[in-house]
Each structure stands twice: as C-alpha cells, then as structure tokens.
Amino acid sequence: MLEQKYVARDEYLNFLKRNRDKHIIKVVSGVRRSGKSTLFLLFRDYLKKTGVKDNQIINLNFEDMDFEDLLDPEKLYSYIKKKLLPDQMNVIGPKSWTLLGLLLCLN
C-alpha cells in the first residue's frame, strides 16, 4: 500500500483552530487538487481529538451522485437543517461546502 503524502498546511490549519469558535465565515478556496479537502480532513481529525462527536460532522461530496439532489439550494438547506444538532457545533464538508458553526469552505 502506498503511503499518502500531504503538503503541510499548518498556517491554514492553525487559522481554523484559532477561529473555530468565532461566529464568522471562514472561506477556504483554491484550484482543484490544491488541498482543500485534505485541510478539512485534518481539521476534522483535530475536532474529533478535542471532543467533537462523529454525529456533529456531516460530510458532503457533491461529486458523488448520492448528493446530486443537494445541488438545489433549498434541498441542501433542508438536508443540513435536519442534520444539525441543536445547541451543538456541527461540521459539514468537504468537497463543495464545509460548515463548522459558520465555517464555509468553497471549492
């Protein structure tokens, strides 16, 4: 099995860590294959290590046919609203939109 190698994105990851509880929108953008999804996965791992539960993390991949209907903004809103836990931090991501409270990650 090949070991996956990632480019360290400490500056970006540290920004997300520092601002995780601030109610501001954080946007991560970049060209395809620039590491946005990897950044989300690293941040997700950090959150889990700090006590965020799996049911507070929602992973959407809009390149997956299972999520095709969610390209409609109203359906996406409805889906997210049903998944969010009241009075808890929630994370949604990575492939197109990632939301942590108000964390938004756009490809």
Note the pLDDT tens digit of each residue in 26-41.
767 778 888 888 888 8
Cross-strand partners of 100: 91
Higher pLDDT, residue 25 or 62: 62
Contact 67, 60 (CB under 8 A): yes
Which one is predicted more confidently, 31 or 8?
Answer: 31
Residue 35: both structure tokens together: 């590491």
64 or 46, greater pLDDT: 46
Is the pLDDT at 98 greater than 50, yes or no?
no
This prediction has a pTM of 0.64
* pLDDT at position 86 over 60: yes
Beta strands at 57-59 and 99-100: parallel, antiparallel or unpaired: unpaired
**Where do the domains of the chain lie?**
10-100
When pLDDT is cut at 50, 70 and 90, the band that residue 52 belongs to is: confident
